[in-house]
Copies of this chain bind each other. A is one copy, B any other.
C-alpha cells in the first residue's frame, strides 16, 4: 500500500471553501493565546470575574479585559454584571470539545 509515494491512499477531496475556513481561522486565532486558553479552561468549570481571571493568569485586569472582549466578540463568551463585578462564562458549546482535544494533545501525561 505504501509504495514510494503513491496517491492511492487518497479518498475523495473533502469539501470546504476557503471562505468558511477563514471564519474558522479567525476564531482559532482568537483561541491561540496562552492566556486565553487558560481562561477558557477555567471558564469551562464555572463563571469567573475579570479580576479572578487576571489574578490566575498574573496579568493586569485591563489586559484581561481585552482578552475577554476578543473572545466575546467571536461568540466564545458572554458576560453578566453583578454589582461592580462582571462575570464571564462560556457561550459557545463547541469550545468544550475543542478544548478537550487541545488538553488531550498538550496536557496529557505531563506536568
Q: Name A residues whose Cβ lies closer than 8 Å to a Cβ of B.
A: 3-7, 9-29, 31-38, 41-42, 44-48, 56-58, 80-82, 85, 87, 92, 94, 97-98, 101-107, 110-111
Closest CB pairs A-B (n = 10): A10-B46, A5-B82, A28-B32, A21-B34, A29-B32, A24-B106, A94-B105, A21-B37, A22-B34, A5-B87
A44 neighbours in B (Cβ, 8 Å): 14
Bound state CA distance, A4 and B82, in angstroms?
Answer: 7
Bound state CA distance, A103 and B25, in angstroms?
Answer: 11
- Asked if residues A25 and B37 are in contact (CB atoms below 8 Å), the reply is yes
A104 neighbours in B (Cβ, 8 Å): 94, 97
